[in-house]
Amino acid sequence: MKTLVELQNEIQSLTAQASELRAKEFDRTLDEIIANMRAFGITVAQVRDALQAAAKSKSKAKGKRGRKPKAAAVKAKKAPKAKASAAKAGARKPAPIKFRGPNGEAWSGRGKLPKWLQAAKDSGQSVDAFRV
């Protein structure tokens, strides 16, 4: 097993080797880029514009941090009509109250008859007597 000092010396040696290799590859890569720019007639201004456009698209793609949007939300963003209908479906108003019980109970007249109104009906009272 190597000692701490031996590992640190090895790290320094590897770091120096990596720096030399990077410098050589950097020069070679830069020469390739310049050769390609000349071959295709690309200007420095075009490269600058492309870099700026790439940075903008990257920042837009990054978007908000946190949880990814659900598939339905993504589809709604893509299709404006779907977004409008989704907003309408989620923002429904409650049905107006049509019947009110003796203890303040309320019923819109939709769905199954509530227990309080069923009990009143069974006792002989008219349902219309509770109409608002």
What share of the chain has pLDDT > 90, as a percent?
Answer: 51
User: Following CA atoms 70, 75, 77, 80 in sequence, which dihedral angle do they give, to the nearest 10 degrees?
Assistant: -150
Is 60 or 121 the better-scoring residue by pLDDT? 121
Amino acid making up residue 117: L
What integer pLDDT is reported at residue 33 of this predicted model?
A: 95
Question: Alpha-carbon distance 51 to 57, whole Å?
Answer: 10
Residue 130's Cα: distance from chain center in Å? 48
Q: Per residue in 62-118, pLDDT tens?
A: 655 666 666 666 666 665 555 555 556 667 888 899 999 888 889 999 989 999 899
Question: Alpha-carbon distance 67 to 7, whole Å?
Answer: 42
What share of the chain has pLDDT > 70, as a percent?
Answer: 77
Least reliable range by pLDDT among 19-28, 29-38, 49-58, 76-85: 76-85
Question: Alpha-carbon distance 28 to 84, whole Å?
Answer: 55
DSSP 69: P
Which single residue is written with the structure tokens 């429904």?
A: 92
